[in-house]
Amino acid sequence: MSDVVETPVLHVSRDQLIETVAGLRDEGYVSALDVTAVDYMEHPGRTDLPPEVEPERFELVVTLISHTTPGRIRLRVQVPADDPTVPTLFDLFPGTEALEREVADMYGIVFEGHPDPTRILMPPDWEGHPLRKDFAVGRIPVQFKATR
């Protein structure tokens, strides 16, 4: 195989997310490396989900790292399009603050209990969530204050 060590994947539901991450933290996963999301709108036939997991449009992807036995673990959380809310991981890993803000900005996923739910990369008055698959590339008009 190549250089990349396969990361074990856990599928968790939204209600179990906090509990699972807290448990993993106690097991030695000391740091939350990455929080990101995927919009599976155009890729509904994905085959890598186990049968018991109901596919939804959005998927939150959390990567944790353990240093004592070097290794990462990836959590995949299904987030439905009609209720895109997830509990925040801020209280467990404060470092997820900016990463969650980015996901909220780019995908419109709301992190419940997040201390600073503002846009991070896009301007505060931007409409829409650019990384969603229904947000076209190069869409006009460009929404900047000065152009209005």
Partner 1 sequence: MSAPETTVETATDEAVRRREDSAVLRIGEDDGERLEAESNASDTSMIMNMGPQHPSTHGVLRLMLEMEGETVMRSKPVIGYLHTGMEKTAETLTYLQGPTNVTRMDYAAPLFSELAFSMATEALLGLELPPRATWIRMLMCELNRISSHLLFQATNGMDIGAVSMMLYGWREREEALRLLETITGLRMNHNYIRPGGVAADLPDGWRDEVLTLIDALPARLKEFDTLLTGQPIYRERLQGVGVINTAECLALGVTGPILRSTGYAWDLRRDMPYLAYDEVDFDVVVGTYGDCFDRYDIRLNEIRESIRILAQILDQMPSGDYRVQDKKVTPPPRARIDESMEALIHHFKIFTEGFKVPAGEVYAAVESPRGELGCYMVSDGSAVPYRMHIRGPSFVNLQTLPHLMRGGMVADAVAIISSVDPIMGEVDR
For residues 110 and 86, the answer to whether their CB atoms sit within 8 Å is yes
Element (H, E) at 62: strand 58-66
Among 100, 147, 105, 111, CA closest to 130: 105
Judged by DSSP in three states, 14 sits in helix
Among 21, 32, 60, 79, binds partner 1 (CB under 8 A): 32
Question: From the CB of 83, what's the least distance to partner 1, in Å?
Answer: 21
User: What does the DSSP 8-state code read for residue 23?
Assistant: H
8 touches partner 1 (CB under 8 A)? no
Among 10, 63, 110, 143, binds partner 1 (CB under 8 A): 63
Among 11, 14, 16, 38, binds partner 1 (CB under 8 A): 38
For residues 96 and 35, the answer to whether their CB atoms sit within 8 Å is yes
49 touches partner 1 (CB under 8 A)? no
Which residues are bridge partners to 85 per DSSP? 110
Which residues here bind partner 1, judged by CB under 8 A? 1-5, 7, 30-34, 36, 38-39, 42-43, 46-48, 61, 63, 65, 67, 70-72, 74, 91, 93-99, 102, 106, 115-116, 118-124, 130-131, 135, 137
